[in-house]
Amino acid sequence: MLELFLKSFLTLFVVMDPVGLVPVFLALAGDRPQRKQAQIARKAVLVAGGLLVSFFFFGRGLLGYLGISLEALRIAGGILLFRIATEMVFAHHERETEEEKDEARLRADISVFPLAIPLIAGPGALASVLILAAEARKEPLGFVVVLFTVFLVLALAYLFLRLAAQVRRALGRTGVNVVTRVLGILLAALAVQYVADGVKALF
């Protein structure tokens, strides 16, 4: 049970990268009033949470309908997570394109796009939730553990968004980069493990 919790927490925390959200959030909403920033952060986390929970409960059925095996998803998820990890390590954050950034600056509501999707509940997070949901079936109360972890990481993401200015001042640009790179290395190792497990089960 503890192993499942630690694995779920590490996976989701690294993929969602609450620390890495700080500079993006400040760039998009840093010039808005504190009350508006709080509304944006709350809505972004709620939308992302709804999407992640939906994938947790209905993702397996969707895979079955599309004829996709869990092993194939595990391999694809591992490859995707490894790509995200390399971007984190080498500071090439490409979770949103320049066109998406420009659109976000012009839009009045940035909570759904790009904060909720794809920054918090991106492809890597969705794939991770589906894989963790499958692993939760092997443990008593596994579903409760994974869901609790999802809500815990979302709560941390909300906390970092609300305290974005303070976190940036405390860590500085260098501090944020160091934390992001360390998390990227851990995510790369986890991604390799996902691929190895998937290949082993598939063949």
Asked if the model's pLDDT at residue 98 lies above 60, the reply is no
How far from 64 is each of 67, 76, 85, 100, 157, CA to CA, in Å? 5, 16, 28, 32, 31
Radius of gyration of the chain (CA): 17
**What's the one-letter identity of residue 106?**
L
Distance of alpha carbon 129 from alpha carbon 127, whole angstroms: 5
Domain limits for position 191 = 2-202
Could you give the 3-state DSSP secondary structure of residue 149? helix
Count up the domains in the chain and report the number.
1
Q: Over the stretch 153-199, which tens digit does the pLDDT of each residue have?
A: 999 999 999 998 888 788 887 887 787 788 778 778 878 887 898 88
Q: Over the stretch 103-160, which tens digit does the pLDDT of each residue have?
A: 545 455 789 887 898 789 887 888 899 999 988 988 889 999 999 999 999 999 999 9
Give the closest residue to 121 by CA, choosing from 156, 90, 154, 88: 154
pTM score, whole prediction: 0.75
Q: Over the stretch 9-20, which tens digit does the pLDDT of each residue have?
A: 999 998 898 988
Q: What angle do CA 45, 153, 145 make, to 5 degrees?
A: 120
Give the closest residue to 133 by CA, choosing from 145, 124, 122: 145
For the beta carbon of residue 151, count every other beta carbon within 10 angstroms: 14
